[in-house]
A and B are shown apart, each in its own frame.
Chain A
């Protein structure tokens, strides 16, 4: 049976990754340890001393799933912008692909799928580290891994589509600063959104990361209910689908002029 065209692109992305896996491995293992140590236990110690619990659980167990989903988003953000510009303009590797049986839509699909796969691997490592440190309270926690991958895809799909419409990387730092960073801070990652002013709380529904964080937290703390989970998954899936439609068009326009 023939390998699907999208998978052939994923293989390319994986080959690039293999060359740099050492750097990435440090990133994936060291980062969670540092974040959990600093925020979960350092800051968490203070929080637990003053209030006992956050959202009914110790602070490290509260913040770990938040960091997991946020890490998936940050990884997706980085993967979906500069490397896409390299593929379309700087190194032109995507142009090499579309001269073969691979089509522009397959290039797009391959890039997004690979970003989700990477997030899956990263979240798995994070989960193991967090579990060893006692920040995972429920065996349902394993479902936080696909949730984080879905969260990554919800960002990768539209961002990858967007990157193919750009002629330079001038707007990428802007997206990081006014898009990704505020979401990172205010999507229930570090504190419950009930701490936000009342007028801002409903806005969190618009943040894909909030849905991702809620899913991951529901899984690792074992506290999720069925219907909210369905809604969170649906919102993230909608981001993927909308991004995917855009990406099919933007990649075709970019690579088949």
Chain B
């Protein structure tokens, strides 16, 4: 084992290679195909997202990128290396925040970071300083001598992030970074991730929250059933696959909803009838909402909003993200 090389200085030929590249990337578990031949590229400095519902193959993809799970088929290059050959070297330059916390519950907050740093063979003297810096960064300095048992879910997630940064990774992989957190805890995590992005760390994250994807990601792919359904920036995806605005109509009863369908079909560009509401896709939501109420449609509530990634997903797959 040789020492991990320092991150390469960005020369022309290095910076032109994508940080991650997958071609026909496939993961099978026996007969089950979790990831079905996906193509994607992640460039340096980007925040890249895999958006999709549970079971779409996001975690399997992340585990392959993290050089933990061997690929079944296709090609994968991470940091311009082959995970099959250079797994240990690649992992030495990654930071990984797993979906389920893997913290040492019996150890203190600070010891968790220190011990993790030893897996990267970082010298103890540097580690102590770095650990304090990182705990400061994730706002856990005042809890540094507490056992992890005592931390809330949001604090644990922030500790996982601090730990993943111990080796100054070029690439940070986050699997569902805010799943299970309350809104305040989510915003704290998002704030830290913004900060990292600004410092030039490449972020790759999976999420089934469309607001998370919209807020954090420069580019993203929408995954469904092991495949990539669409790819682009959040803005591009919305422009390409949805209208500018959406009118959301909720009704008191299912009968009211069904009675409204003929009129709804006559306004806007198209509509989606969901179990609890009707979505009317429109370039001018206010006007279409007025037209519908003038036509005698009497919904319980009317909401005009801008299109979101949720609508893109619905359009592409016919399903909602969270079900």
Contact = CB atoms under 8 A, between A and B. Distances in A.
B69 A257 contact: yes
Contacts of A97: 119
A101 B68 contact: no
Looking at chain B's contact residues, the main secondary structure is loop
A91 B3 contact: no
Contacts of B70: 256
Contacts of B1: 2, 4-5
B107 A16 contact: yes
Contacts, number: 81
A93 interface: yes
B187 interface: no
B244 to A, nearest CB: 42
- Give the interface size class of chain A: 20 to 34
A3 B121 contact: yes
A100 B69 contact: no
Contacts of A8: 118-119, 121
A101 B92 contact: yes
A257 B98 CA distance: 14
A19 B107 CA distance: 7
Interface string B1-25: 1111000000000000000000000
A15 B89 CA distance: 25
Contacts of B87: 103
B174 to A, nearest CB: 12
Interface in B95-122: 96, 98, 100-107, 111, 115-116, 118-121
A92 interface: yes
B88 interface: yes
Interface string A83-102: 00000000111011111111
A11 interface: yes
A15 B121 contact: no
A255 interface: yes
Interface in B165-212: 167
B88 A101 contact: yes
Given A11-B115, A100-B120, A101-B91, A93 B69 contact: no
A12 interface: yes
Interface in A203-257: 255-257
B115 A99 contact: no
Contacts of B2: 2
A15 B113 CA distance: 12
Contacts of B4: 101
Contact of B100 (A9, A15, A92): A92
Interface residues of B, number: 35
A5 B105 contact: no
A101 B120 contact: yes
B66 A16 contact: no
B29 A257 contact: yes
Contacts of A16: 104, 106-107
Which of B66, B70, B102 has the most A CB atoms < 10 Å from its CB?
B102
B102 A91 contact: yes
Contacts of B119: 8-9, 12, 97, 100-102
Contacts of B91: 99-101
Contact of B68 (A4, A11, A91, A256): A256
B88 A91 contact: no
A5 B88 CA distance: 10
Nearest to B96: A99
A90 B68 CA distance: 19
A15 B115 contact: yes
B226 to A, nearest CB: 16
A176 B91 CA distance: 38
A100 B116 CA distance: 8
A92 B102 contact: yes
A98 B103 contact: no
A100 B111 CA distance: 17
Given A2-B1, A5-B1, A95 B102 contact: yes
A17 to B, nearest CB: 11
Contact of B102 (A9, A11, A96): A96
B107 A15 contact: yes
A93 B101 CA distance: 9
A8 to B, nearest CB: 5
Contacts of A9: 119
A98 B107 contact: no
Nearest to B88: A101
Interface of B: 1-4, 29, 63, 66, 68-70, 87-89, 91-92, 94, 96, 98, 100-107, 111, 115-116, 118-121, 163, 167
29 contacts: A3-B121, A8-B118, A8-B119, A9-B119, A11-B115, A12-B104, A12-B115, A12-B118, A16-B106, A19-B106, A20-B106, A91-B104, A92-B98, A92-B100, A93-B104, A95-B102, A96-B98, A96-B116, A99-B96, A100-B96, A101-B4, A101-B89, A101-B91, A101-B120, A102-B119, A103-B88, A255-B68, A256-B69, A257-B69
Going nearest first, the 5 A-B pairs with the smallest beta carbon separation are A96-B102, A100-B119, A99-B96, A92-B102, A101-B92
